[in-house]
Chains A and B, each alone.
Chain A
Amino acid sequence: MKIRFIDAEAPPASRIFENLAAGHGDHPLDRYLKKGRIPHIWCSGCGNGILLAAFVKAMEKGNFDTKKTVVVSGIGCIGRAAGYLDLDTYHTTHGRAIPFATGLKLANPKLNVVVISGDGDLFAIGGNHFIHAARRNVDITVICSNNFNYGMTGGQGGPTTPLESKTTTTPYGCSEHPFNLVYLAKASGAVYVARWTALHTHELRDSIIHSVNKPGFCFVEAITPCPTAHGRRNKLGDGLSMMKSYRDNSVLTTELDPEETAIGLKGKIAVGEFVDIDKPTFMDMYDECAICRANAPKKSKKS
């Protein structure tokens, strides 16, 4: 077969480097962002920017080694977070950020590997990976932007959509019981579990620092407003009103059993740090059980 691709009259590749640095550096935290990536794709009032800012502030305050910190995302609005950070970043397939991150971390344990992704990505299509990575206690941090729906595809229902909540695919109200992510993470074996809302920027930042420094599978849930989809369909108002409702309804608690921390469409949101325990990571156990034994000098039969 003779092949003749139709060549579009494409501008030269060099064009993409033009003005890359324009405006970059105007803000002191720009040094944590890749050149030429702002403005971001998120709607005004979206909580994803606040979560990204919390992460960047964690990098600064926690003095993260930018050479060794790697961020992996799945697919979704928040999945774009990885691409803005001036780190090694991977934007993978829908639901698969955690196993991708597992490969990165185990192949080079010196890396600090952080997954930032959405509730649909991590708990619907990727739910199995979440529970298994937590069970194995792979030393990664998973940060979930929970906006109670699938933002990127226009606001469908998902695994965290509260009962009665309206989405494009639950037009009469959601009839499925949602996951309580804090409870799920604890039950799956996470060594650190915290939940904050987009209003709790300092707490989010500090939980991220703690998670990145702590060995083992750490989970931070950030409740984020999605005024465009979830907020609008449930008459929760604009981004600001949703933030106000977080202020009025958040209850800081360390006492509550994670089982008691489920979130409804309206009503109280339990926030705080719910789990902070120590146990050997996957690599600790693999070194002990596999590497050491495989290389142990063979015992002679006589002795």
Chain B
Amino acid sequence: MSSKAVRTGAHFMSGDEACAEGGMAAGCSFFAGYPITPATEVAERMSIRLPQVGGVYIQMEDEIASMAAIIGASCAGAKAMTSTSGPGFSLMMENIGLAAMLEVPCVVVNIQRGGPSTGLPTLVGQQDVMQCRWGSHGDYEVIALSPDSPQEAFELTIEAFNLSEKYRTPVVLLSDEVVGHMTEKVIIPDSKKIKTVSRKLPKKKPENFIPYAHEEDDVPPMAIAGEGYHVHATGLTHDELGYPAINADAQERLVQRLIRKIRNHVEEIIRTEDAFLDDAEIILVSYGCSARAAREVVETARADGMKIGMIRLITVWPFCERKISELAALERVKKFVVCEINAGQIAYEVERCAGGKAETILAGFMGGRIFTPEELYRVVREAAE
């Protein structure tokens, strides 16, 4: 069934538009953002779509405000989202940490362009991967998903909402200009077939409710503003009641739990697309638009008789540590070639997890366009020699 929120059917749309439709299908009812290439189309589509379902679209005065507004909206019970690119992502960092600390579900879309600074507003980069992981100060875990097509932009935006609601944490849809601006067929399924997740709500009465009590899965139920729970949420280190507690004990209990609630569930969260890992000696690692070129290289190299395999990170963060170290430990696996449009970000993770048992080679590209399969193939062939 098609509904106002879910536009069931086959469409021809850009990755950015698909991302907005994914948000709608996930139940997003609040969007705050600020125009920036190449992410503007997400906001534009939301400005058309949200009023149709009685939701709120607001263009804020900057990305700091946008991030603050979606956290506020989520505290009032809405599924909320923003979209941006590099410069705006930098501005969002402090409040992404606030969302992590207050444990407020929300989705941040970053359609990456080339940097640093204003860089390449209209052209691709994948240079915000480490910023996405470590950009806000302090210790926290993030979840980031990276689509390689408009279809996947649709699907992963829904997944981003589901994970953020499940783990009460900000989730980043780490896309890029190529995927954001390419137009392809996008199939939106029947609304009944779309799985959506909503945050746990308190079952206890307000007088017995402890807002940050340690639950089994480390994710406490979230009290929504206006329901009578009278919760206090603060970005200061807080105790289980949510009251400020500026001491080492409270810090330990809180921060360890924040870390644990993601780390203990990495196996459920992490998704990759694997090909030919059964006999591969060289493994290409990529994500987002880079994976499109990598896939072609794998096909060509296989046809040329090369024992090559491929891992595409669908979940960029948390990183698939176990998979890389297990593969690296195999005698036959000689090299990982990490292709990404930056001067080396995920390559460091791969090298770390390979632990010296297999060599890591960065096929890095500075951005402005996607490298061609031929260009990447040259690096792969060199690696094979």
Q: SS class of chain B's interface: helix, strand, loop or mixed?
A: mixed
A68 within 8 A of B: yes
Q: Are B225 and A70 in contact (CB under 8 A)?
A: yes
Nearest-neighbour CB distance to chain A for B38, whole angstroms, equals 24
Please, what's the 1-or-0 string for A89-111, where 1 marks a CB less than 8 Å from any CB in chain B?
11111011011111111111011
Chain A residues with CB below 8 A from B57, complex form: 290
- A interface size (C-beta, 8 A): 54
5 A-B contact pairs sorted by A residue (CB < 8 Å): A13-B214, A67-B228, A86-B230, A90-B225, A103-B80
Contact of B61 among A80, A132, A290 (CB under 8 A): A132
CA A82 to CA B230, docked complex, whole Å: 11
Contact of B252 among A8, A92, A110 (CB under 8 A): A8
B229 within 8 A of A: yes
- B interface size (C-beta, 8 A): 60
CB within 8 Å of A: which B47-81 residues? 47-48, 51-52, 54, 56-58, 60-62, 64-66, 68-78, 80
Nearest-neighbour CB distance to chain B for A72, whole angstroms, equals 7
CB within 8 Å of A: which B1-58 residues? 29-30, 32, 47-48, 51-52, 54, 56-58
CB within 8 Å of B: which A116-142 residues? 128-129, 132
Chain B residues with CB below 8 A from A110, complex form: 226
- Name the residue among A10, A86, A110 with the largest chain B CB count within 10 angstroms: A10
Task: Give the A-B pair count, Cβ closer than 8 A.
Answer: 175
Q: Are A99 and B56 in contact (CB under 8 A)?
A: no
B302 within 8 A of A: no
B359 within 8 A of A: no
The 8 closest A-B pairs by CB, nearest first: A103-B72, A294-B51, A103-B69, A99-B65, A107-B73, A103-B73, A91-B234, A99-B68
Q: Are A104 and B241 in contact (CB under 8 A)?
A: no
B233 within 8 A of A: yes
Chain B residues with CB below 8 A from A279, complex form: none
Contact of A90 among B29, B58, B66, B75 (CB under 8 A): B75
Chain A residues with CB below 8 A from B78, complex form: 107-108
Q: Are A89 and B56 in contact (CB under 8 A)?
A: no
A5 within 8 A of B: yes
Chain B residues with CB below 8 A from A108, complex form: 76-78, 225-226
A22 within 8 A of B: no
B98 within 8 A of A: yes
Apart from A16-B240, A16-B241, what are 9 other A-B pairs with CB-CB below 8 Å? A8-B252, A66-B230, A90-B72, A90-B232, A96-B65, A99-B66, A103-B68, A108-B77, A291-B54
Q: Are B71 and A102 in contact (CB under 8 A)?
A: no
Q: Are A72 and B226 in contact (CB under 8 A)?
A: no
Contact of B226 among A16, A75, A88, A93 (CB under 8 A): A88
Residues of A within 8 A of B (CB): 1, 5, 7-8, 10-11, 13, 16-17, 34, 36-37, 66-68, 70, 72, 75, 80, 82-83, 86-93, 95-96, 98-108, 110-111, 128-129, 132, 282, 286, 290-291, 293-295
Q: Are B80 and A107 in contact (CB under 8 A)?
A: yes
Q: Are B51 and A128 in contact (CB under 8 A)?
A: no
Q: Are B68 and A92 in contact (CB under 8 A)?
A: yes
Chain A residues with CB below 8 A from B226, complex form: 67-68, 70, 88, 108, 110-111
Instruction: Tell me the nearest residue of chain B to A84, going by C-beta.
Output: B232
Residues of B within 8 A of A (CB): 29-30, 32, 47-48, 51-52, 54, 56-58, 60-62, 64-66, 68-78, 80, 94-95, 98, 102, 213-214, 223, 225-236, 239-241, 243-245, 248-249, 252-253, 256, 352
Q: Are A91 and B233 in contact (CB under 8 A)?
A: yes
Nearest-neighbour CB distance to chain B for A160, whole angstroms, equals 21
Chain B residues with CB below 8 A from A106, complex form: 30, 56, 58, 69, 73
Q: A92-B98, A100-B68 are in contact. Are A83 and B243 (CB under 8 A)?
A: yes
Q: Are B69 and A102 in contact (CB under 8 A)?
A: yes
Q: Are A129 and B65 in contact (CB under 8 A)?
A: yes
- Name the residue among A13, A67, A129, A291 with the largest chain B CB count within 10 angstroms: A13
Q: Are A294 and B230 in contact (CB under 8 A)?
A: no
Instruction: Tell me the nearest residue of chain A to B97, going by C-beta.
Output: A93
CA A160 to CA B64, docked complex, whole Å: 23
Chain A residues with CB below 8 A from B241, complex form: 16-17, 36
